[in-house]
Structure 1
Amino acid sequence: MGNLALLIPIMGMSIPLFAIWMKHREKVEQMRMSATAENTAERAAQYASHVQELEQRVRVLERIVTDQGYDTARQIEALRDNRQVENRRLQAENAAI
């Protein structure tokens, strides 16, 4: 009977401690979830920024390819290639003579 009389006050004092501990755990979990949500939002913003940057680069490339200047540059390179082939052919002919 003496032990039971001692347990009742101990139980009465432990209930508020348990409630405080539970509130603390709840706050920690909320903070963890908030941090996770912030990380997710930050990643989404980074991905959106990266996608936007890639879209801008594709637009620039499309403009270059559809621009007449690109066609002109390609023609110049083709002429350079033809000149190199012609020079090699002439060198081969001169070496054969």
Structure 2
Amino acid sequence: MMGAGETFAAIAFAGVLIALIVAGTEMFRRFMNYKERQLEMSEQSARSTAQNKAIEDRLRALESIVTDGGYDVASKIEALRDTRKVEDQGSGVPLGLSRENA
């Protein structure tokens, strides 16, 4: 049989053991949450890097169009469109009719 002192020591030991298990479980849970946040942040960083690269590629394409003369070609095409509009307006013939019917 156990005496009163031994019973108290066993109960104290069990209490300390339970406290250590609870504390260890809590520490493990916090550690796992921390690792999950790190993983989410690294994934978000990778997505941001990919988006930045795509934007940089688009910007380089636009810069090459503007600096390589492609912009000049587009401007000339627009100028031709503007010239045709002015010529069409001066003809005085409604759309769908020929000069003979007007």
* Shorter-chain TM band: 0.7 to 0.9
Taking every aligned residue pair, what percent have the same amino acid on both sides? 30
Aligned counterpart, 1:64: 65
Output the CA distance in 2 between the equivalents of 1:7 and 1:13. Answer: 11
Output the CA distance in 1 between the equivalents of 2:67 and 2:76. Answer: 14
Q: Name the amino acid aligned to 1:85.
A: V
Aligned counterpart, 2:35: 34
Q: Name the amino acid aligned to 2:84.
A: R
Q: Name the amino acid aligned to 1:80.
A: R
Q: Name the amino acid aligned to 1:71.
A: D
Q: CA deviation at 1:84?
A: 1.2
Q: CA deviation at 1:13?
A: 1.4
State the superposition RMSD in angstroms.
2.2
Aligned counterpart, 1:25: 26
TM-score (norm 1): 0.79
| SS across alignment from 1:91 | coil
Report Cα offsets for 1:33-84 as digits up to 9, x if no partner.
0000111111111111111110000000111112223312321221121111
| Structure 2 residues without counterparts, runs of 5 or longer | 94-98
Q: CA deviation at 1:12?
A: 2.5
Q: CA deviation at 1:11?
A: 2.5
Output the CA distance in 2 between the equivalents of 1:70 and 1:78. Answer: 12
Matches within 5 A, 1:1-97: 8=8, 9-91=10-92
Q: What is the total number of aligned residue pairs between the two structures?
A: 90
Q: CA deviation at 1:21?
A: 1.1
| More helix per residue | 1
TM-score (norm 2): 0.75
Q: Name the amino acid aligned to 2:85.
A: Q
| Structure 1 residues without counterparts, runs of 5 or longer | none
Report Cα offsets for 1:5-27 as digits up to 9, x if no partner.
69824222111111111111111
